[in-house]
Structure 1
Amino acid sequence: MPTRDLTQSLDTDATVYPGDPEVESSPAATHESDGYRVTELRLGTHSGTHIDAPSHTEPDGKNLDAFDIESFAFDARVVDCSESGAREPIGVDAVPDYESKESRANGERNENSEIEMLVFRTGWDAHWGTDRYLDHPYLTADAAAACADRGWHVGLDALSPDPSPSETGVESASESNEGEPAGVPAHRELLGSDRFVVENLTGLGDLPERFELRAYPLALAAADGSPVRAVATW
């Protein structure tokens, strides 16, 4: 069974959402002084490749430990949005068709019937570790709502499904930013419907269109999010 790691390296050069804790590491014990090695880590729950719990944006939302472990393995489909430019919205037309209520009532199924997660491939992982990474494409609220209505979680190879604060974007692309939504409406549409968001994936370029994504969070109590080791199998 082919397997691929879709996880960004979680090191001190990792891009974080503006205002979030930077990833830091320092020696807590060394071979020379202690006879063994331990590293102290400091990072936020949304560092690196990670999964958002509903409680990330929803005051009454569930934490990650409210979900069974099998909830974090997804039948996924890739949607190619690599033609999207900097700070460009990805609209509802990018969301694949789903069977109608009538076809479901008649027992008809289409190729999207078993999808649990839609993974948006923007190619923006190529800018990881640079200021450019903050100027990623983003989902419109309607696109996020369409995914939530279909019962689909969302993954993407970018920092957020919503626009990220960026001095580069504001200063050099102010005209294109005039229509950007305020707040985090795509997050609210998804997390408010108990859908997960997996952010900062990488290596989506030549994956098959359908695969299984396993994104297991750390066993943190009452977590609003967690770094994951995201692995694709097909």
Structure 2
Amino acid sequence: MDFSVLVGARVVDLSVTLSESLPGSWPGHAPFSHHNWNWFAEVDGPTGRTRSAAPYQTNAITIDEHCGTHFDAPTHFIPPPGSGLPHAGALGEESGEKVPLDDLMGSAVVVDVSFLSEGGEPGVSPFIEPEHIKDFERENGELRAGEVVLLRTGWDRHYVEGEAGLRYMHRSLVTGTFQGWPAPSPELAVYLDEKGVKTLGIDAPSIGSAHDGVPVHQEGLGRGMRYIELLTNLDRLPVRGAFFVFLPIKVAGSSGGPGRAVAFVPGA
């Protein structure tokens, strides 16, 4: 790609904000926490007197690898060779820090499947199928090898504080009282891989469905695909023309990790 086209481009932040009051933590996993460790001066707060060793501020965070906007490395679902487990293979040794950054960026194609986000069955995700992508291709041209496909479900509208934010994950996964987010079927992962698409992103809690999230992870990650989840603001991107970048934190032996996702929109 000619990176000169990015000069003067509009930068669109595609990352959700992390907060203890926002639904970015997967239910049942370690919840995100963010607490002050040192402040400029000692003051009384709701949990006692704030420590102050010197006049600066720093905070401590606890975060699951799959909290907030993050990516899945193959080791998230693919066991290592020699483990004797189903789906084990060489990709089970490709932890997060070993995934090439080139795989996490590229020309973006935004596929609008937001029509699937209404009227679904409680606790069940409607699948995004190959036929949905083929419909898109008939109108917008075929997907090309190396493009980053971003599935715009509109589910990020539920990423809010308070009671309404329980719709984002909790009521689909825990109580089963709200419809699941649209999610790609395993067949879609196969279709995209055969088209040469290596990286797939979504503005929903997971590439996996609310009711059966394992198969599409095993299918795609087992083929060396890269999944990026909990994106937002995909409605601010053109169907084609933006350049997508995701930069994860670099942790040895990780199964993926959180990071910052952005898109550059030339000529904006």
* Bucket of the pairwise TM-score, normalised by the shorter protein: 0.7 to 0.9
Q: How far does residue 185 in structure 1 lie from its aligned partner after superposition? A: 1.0
Cα RMSD for the two superposed structures: 2.0
Give the alignment partner of residue 156 of structure 2, picking from 125, 143, 160. 125
Q: Is the 8 A contact 1:49 1:229 kept in 2?
A: yes
Distance 1:128 1:192, change over 3 A: same
Aligned to 1:93: 131
Q: Could you say which residue in structure 1 is the equivalent of 2:29?
A: 20
Q: Which stretch of the first structure deviates more once superposed, 18-27 or 44-53? A: 18-27
Residues in 1 aligned to 2:181 and 2:213: alpha-carbon distance in whole angstroms? 16
What SS does the aligned partner of 2:234 have?
A: coil
Between the aligned residues of both structures, percent identity stands at: 31
CA distance in structure 1 between the partners assigned to 2:136 and 2:34 by the alignment: 45
Q: 1:98 to 1:121 in 2, by over 3 A?
A: closer
Give the structure 2 partner of residue 103 of structure 1. Answer: none
Give the TM-score of the pair, scaled to structure 2: 0.72
| Contact persistence 2:145–2:196 (CA under 8 A) | no
Distance 1:160 1:117, change over 3 A: same
Of the candidates 112, 116, 130, which is equivalent to residue 80 of structure 1? 112
Query: Does 2:232 align with 1:202?
Result: yes
* Alpha-carbon distance in structure 1 between the residues aligned to 2:195 and 2:16: 28
Q: Give the equivalent residue in structure 2 for 1:9.
A: 17
| Change over 3 Å in CA distance of 1:139–1:113 after alignment to 2 | closer
CA positional deviation for 1:57: 0.6
Name the SS of the counterpart of 1:146 in structure 2.
helix
Distance change (3 Å), C-alpha of 1:38 and 1:225: same
Query: Which residue is equivalent to 2:253?
Result: 222
Rounded to whole Å, the distance in 2 between the matches of 1:206 and 1:226 is 24
Return the alpha-carbon distance in structure 2 between the equivalents of residues 214 and 185 of structure 1.
26
Change (3 A) 1:7 1:183: closer
Deviations 1:81-130 (A, max 9, x none): 0100342221111224899xxxxxxxxxx753244321110000000141
- Counterpart CA distance in 1 for 2:145 and 2:224 is 18
Equivalent residue number for residue 170 of structure 1:
none
Taking structure 1 as reference, are residues 223 and 20 closer, same or farther at Cα in structure 2, changes over 3 Å only?
Answer: same
CA drift at 1:131 = 1.8
Query: In 2, distance between residues paired with 1:49 and 1:14?
Result: 12
Q: Structure 1 pair 117/96, CA: closer, same or farther in 2 (3 Å)?
A: farther
The aligned counterpart of 1:102 is: none
Flag structure 2 segments of 5+ consecutive residues without an equivalent.
Answer: 1-8, 42-51, 81-91, 170-179
| 1:78 CA drift (Å) | 0.6
Q: Which stretches in structure 1 are left out of the alignment for 5+ residues?
A: 100-109, 165-179
Larger Rg: 2
* 75-84 or 89-98: bigger deviation: 89-98
Q: What does the per-residue CA deviation read over 1:151-185, in whole Å, with 9 as the maximum and x for residues that have no partner? A: 32210000112222xxxxxxxxxxxxxxx5x3511
Contact 2:18 2:68 in 1 (8 A): yes
Structure 1 pair 149–111 and aligned structure 2 pair: CA distance change class (3 A) = closer
Q: Assess, with a 3 A threshold, how the Cα gap between structure 1 residues 41 and 141 changes in structure 2: closer, same or farther.
A: same
Answer yes or no: is the 8 Å Cα contact 1:76–1:115 preserved in 2.
no
